[in-house]
Amino acid sequence: MHRQLLHRRRGADGRGRDRLRQVRRLPRHAADARLLRARRRRAHRRRKGLGVATFLLVHGACTGGWCWEKVVPLLEAAGHKACAPDLPGLGKDQTPPANVTLADNVEKLARLLDKMEEQVILVGHSLGGITISQLAEARRRKLKALVYLCALLPTSGKCGKDMTGLEPDAMFRLSRQVSPDGKTYTFARDKLPSLFYADVSPEDRYKAMERLRPQPLSISTTPVTLTEERFGSVPRWYIECTHDNAIRINLQRTMVKMTPSKVLKLECGHSPFFSNPEELVEHLETIAAASPTRDV
């Protein structure tokens, strides 16, 4: 990375002359270094004649689009487009969470997809896997690929609760606290660090925990309706997170056996967008390179 600095130099006549000198500027922070490497990948892709992709990033339970805040700049620096919206009732969205349904999630994302001219790589994290599955059923023609990031990968007729039920002693289930009206849930605060942020820096962990909101319960209890002709026609990828304490690796692999997908792996916990953003982006770029526009 370079910047141009303007310097004043005295000539023989004593007058000042301006000249430009190019000075190498080294990254001061890890984030700067990651952006620099992403820009180098963009330049490499241009030299190779490789295209760019558009990513729609869907967050999981209790979080918001903010969880992708380290990933979006890296994708954009690499030349891609990325959108990380808040689902209804979460992040900065002001919809009362008790009223939110799975159909609301799908409708909001479908409106976004309908505004995009190009096909999209749809990424879902954790509980977001439920929403992206039902969205793929509704908008398969808008998608290049589905990506499940340590996410719930449902089968037709099943809901998120059914999928986590494949592992009855999962911390994800045991740590959940349902509201008195039975319409939302949160997670026991003392369990959050080990459950979601075991390998995340203290600063990122604190910032994340302070932004969590109650999760609409209906997203976990509404069965999905999926067909092979629609959902099944979209190429699927699963990114395993091998040290995940929320959706443990055995459950991840069980779901992939039930709904076969191409698999990539990260050696990390449940929140790779905080702990391993650069490695995550590299996997997303691998998927993009293997996902041409579909003729549908």
**Residue 264 host element (H or E):** strand 262-266
Q: How far apart are CA 134 and CA 155, in angstroms?
A: 10
Instruction: Indicate if 204 belongs to the active site.
Output: no
Residue type, 106: V
**Hey, which residues does 82 pair with through a beta bridge?**
55
Active-site residue, from 175, 218, 244, 271: 244
Phi, psi of 20 (to 5 degrees): -95, 130
Active-site residue, from 133, 270, 283, 291: 270
**Hey, which residues does 53 pair with through a beta bridge?**
none
Q: How far apart are CA 93 and CA 86, in angstroms?
A: 6
Considering only the C-alpha atoms of the chain, give the largest distance between any 2 of them, rounded to a whole number of Å: 85
Q: How far apart are CA 60 and CA 244, in angstroms?
A: 14
Instruction: Indicate if 270 belongs to the active site.
Output: yes
Give the strand order in the sheet containing 215-216: 176-178, 184-187, 215-216
Q: How far apart are CA 159 and CA 218, in angstroms?
A: 9
Q: Work out the number of other CB atoms within 10 angstroms of the CB of residue 278.
A: 17
**Hey, which residues does 21 pair with through a beta bridge?**
5
Only one residue has tokens 């605060």, namely 189
Q: How far apart are CA 241 and CA 247, in angstroms?
A: 9
Active-site residue, from 59, 80, 86, 126: 126
Cα-trace Rg, the chain: 22
Closest CA to 249 of 188, 186, 173, 170: 170
Q: Which residues does 106 contact at the CB level (< 8 Å), separation at least 6? A: 131, 134, 135, 138
Active-site residue set: 126, 244, 270
